[in-house]
Structure 1
Amino acid sequence: MKKSDVELDGFRAYLLEKGKREKTVEDYVRHIANFHKWLQSEGGDLANLTRYDIQQYVKHLQNKGNKATTLNLKFSAIVAYARYIGQSHLVENIQRPEIRHTRHISPKSLPKNDRNRLFRELERSGNLRSIAIAYTLLYTGLRVSELVALNRSDIHNGERSGHVIVRDGKGGIARTVPLPSEARYHLRRYLETRKDSDPALFLSNFKKRISIRAVQRIFEKLGVHPHMLRHTYGRELVSSGIDIATVAELMGHSDVNITRRYAAPSLKDIEEAVEKTFG
């Protein structure tokens, strides 16, 4: 085993002891492994880390086109690693790109015509799993990471009502979300095709629990990002008059201000208003 492997194993154990979620731990370890590869290519090493190395790596990521949000996630992993080795001073005053917040514009959701096209094309494909995934995402507002983690036992699918239990949402927040009849119908149809005993709600083509990437690929083929279904869910609830606090609870937001974005006009709304005024 290489020395760097031993260091990463120790870092992983340190993060778990600090109570970090498993997915966060794996992301941080991956980011540090990539940082280590870059260091080696530049003649550096994790064992002899310097503040200069970290600043140069940040510049390297910027030059590669990493957005501020992506870069800051990778920097957070380096901050955790610096604490792990007892050298927090290495990450002090590191220059990073500023994250610009645009909370005054609603996140991009799917217009009704695009929604109709999406479900029409999915239904024509005849793929019951893809159809069930799309209806579940749109009608519950789940994150893709939450969807792939679901087990069959998390779905309560009655004739007149139903709900889905999200046991480990973002930030460790558990919640129960109503499951509308259309989503229940398509889930029931998909599950009727399953002859296995795997607890996972959705399986891949290889009969394993489906991955986030596999779900993303389903929608990429249709020109849609799956997270847009979540944004559509939030926007539709707010537009229907559901109070912000309830929408925040349904969507698993720890900060109600994140939910308030769905009450803001979308970029399309603004464009149409400007066109109507000046066009």
Structure 2
Amino acid sequence: MEQQLQAYCEHLRSERQVSPHTLLAYRRDLGKVLAFCQKQALGDWSALDIALLRSFIARQHQQGQSSRSLARLLSAVRGLYQYLNREGLCQHDPAGGLAPPKGERRLPKTLDTDRTAQLLDGAVEDDFLARRDQAIMELFYSSGLRLSELTGLDTDQLDLADGLVQVLGKGSKTRVLPIGSKARQALEEWLKLRALANPRDNAVFISQQGKRLGQRAVQVRLKAAGERELGQNLHPHMLRHSFASHVLESSQDLRAVQELLGHADISTTQIYTHLDFQHLATVYDSAHPRAKRKGNAHD
């Protein structure tokens, strides 16, 4: 079983060419399954059936494994058994009919429009760091970029004349996004100072040494901006979530938000409908004449 697992991992590395991070995650997850099989004294992978795998998943869940982690583990098991079946080493897939336990779905944290304005509409000093940080925050909120998409951005991906940016997202998929007028203005001001900083490459966002700005540096700068302007923690995904929530709130077009965010599956985008409902419920409670009259004997 160990040898077949190693052969599968080599298949992932050499033929499927998965990333080192993905390969490490698969090795770790499948190593847990292998250890379970060995404890059950199973002689080969064909001996693992759906009942045993279900009990293993249930035990992992009881020990605190999240639904998301267990979904990834089941995906790894399916991949292994697809390989084993194709190689003639097995004739079934014990994970085929299994789904991970449903976990509590945590809603992403967002800023409301007033707090977003408080963050972005203040005076900006005309210096390198202030202009760069302002452009970063405006672009996050204007176009809903992921952190990796923003730090990977090159100058030739910006078209400020037409207000467009081309980003490379997950799965090496590109998408073209609009840039709002405030973000365009912030980028124009930043690019003037960037040109004076002796850039080492074509990165849009660089350090004072001219090097491409890393993800950790962006996180640190946004955290500082959040504490300074809002008195709260701020991270890049909060601006992406706020972008999605505010666009959906105004447009009610879930498919458009899916395209803008670069989600492969619309079920990922649907979490923002919960945020939108929360907003609508708040508006209802404050505006409807009977919304808060429960329990009042005189009504």
The answer as to 2:26 corresponding to 1:29 is no
Residue among 229, 235, 254 paired with 2:245:
235
Hey, what's the Cα distance between the residues in 1 that align with 2:284 and 2:64? 33
CA shift for structure 1 position 110: 1.5
For structure 1, list consecutive stretches of 5 or more residues without a partner in the other structure: 17-21
Q: CA RMSD in A?
A: 4.3
Hey, what's the Cα distance between the residues in 1 that align with 2:84 and 2:36? 21
Contact 2:165–2:177 under 8 Å retained in 1: yes
The answer as to 2:130 corresponding to 1:133 is no
For structure 2, list consecutive stretches of 5 or more residues without a partner in the other structure: 227-232, 294-299
Structure 2 counterpart of 1:266: 277
The answer as to 2:153 corresponding to 1:150 is yes
Structure 1 counterpart of 2:179: 179
Tell which deviates more after alignment, 115-124 or 229-238: 115-124
Equivalent position amino acid for 2:260 in 1: L
Structure 1 counterpart of 2:102: 98
Q: Secondary structure at the match of 1:164?
A: strand
Hey, what's the Cα distance between the residues in 1 that align with 2:118 and 2:61? 37
Work out which of the two has the higher radius of gyration on C-alpha atoms and give 1 or 2: 2
CA shift for structure 1 position 11: 1.7
Equivalent position amino acid for 2:73 in 1: K
Q: Secondary structure at the match of 1:91?
A: coil
CA shift for structure 1 position 197: 3.2
CA shift for structure 1 position 115: 1.6
Query: Relative to structure 1, is the Cα distance of residues 176 and 72 closer, same or farther in structure 2, using a 3 angstrom cutoff?
Result: same
Contact 1:8–1:33 under 8 Å retained in 2: yes
Hey, what's the Cα distance between the residues in 2 that align with 1:94 and 1:263? 27
CA shift for structure 1 position 233: 2.1
Query: Relative to structure 1, is the Cα distance of residues 29 and 253 closer, same or farther in structure 2, using a 3 angstrom cutoff?
Result: closer
CA shift for structure 1 position 155: 1.0
CA shift for structure 1 position 34: 1.9
Structure 2 counterpart of 1:67: 66
Q: Secondary structure at the match of 2:93?
A: helix
CA deviation string 1:247-266 (max 9, x = no partner): 44433355667667656733
Query: Relative to structure 1, is the Cα distance of residues 93 and 259 closer, same or farther in structure 2, using a 3 angstrom cutoff?
Result: closer
Structure 2 counterpart of 1:163: 164
Contact 2:37–2:48 under 8 Å retained in 1: no
Equivalent position amino acid for 1:91 in 2: A
Structure 2 counterpart of 1:51: 48
Tell which deviates more after alignment, 238-247 or 68-77: 238-247
Hey, what's the Cα distance between the residues in 2 that align with 1:226 and 1:57? 36
Equivalent position amino acid for 1:266 in 2: F
CA shift for structure 1 position 274: 4.0
Tell which deviates more after alignment, 135-144 or 185-194: 185-194
Structure 1 counterpart of 2:292: 278
CA shift for structure 1 position 272: 5.1
Query: Relative to structure 1, is the Cα distance of residues 72 and 121 closer, same or farther in structure 2, using a 3 angstrom cutoff?
Result: farther
CA shift for structure 1 position 83: 2.0
Equivalent position amino acid for 1:178 in 2: P
Hey, what's the Cα distance between the residues in 2 that align with 1:143 and 1:179? 14
Tell which deviates more after alignment, 35-44 or 231-240: 35-44
CA shift for structure 1 position 242: 7.9
| Matched positions, count | 263
Structure 1 counterpart of 2:119: 118
Query: Relative to structure 1, is the Cα distance of residues 142 and 63 closer, same or farther in structure 2, using a 3 angstrom cutoff?
Result: same
CA shift for structure 1 position 224: 2.9
CA deviation string 1:83-139 (max 9, x = no partner): 23334524244462036789xxx9653212332443479958944443322111100
CA shift for structure 1 position 82: 2.8
Hey, what's the Cα distance between the residues in 2 that align with 1:41 and 1:121? 57
Residue among 210, 214, 225 paired with 1:210:
214
Hey, what's the Cα distance between the residues in 2 that align with 1:7 and 1:175? 33
Q: Secondary structure at the match of 1:165?
A: strand
Hey, what's the Cα distance between the residues in 1 that align with 2:98 and 2:152? 36
Equivalent position amino acid for 2:156 in 1: S
Query: Relative to structure 1, is the Cα distance of residues 61 and 238 closer, same or farther in structure 2, using a 3 angstrom cutoff?
Result: same
Tell which deviates more after alignment, 134-143 or 62-71: 62-71
TM-score (norm 2): 0.65
CA shift for structure 1 position 240: 4.2
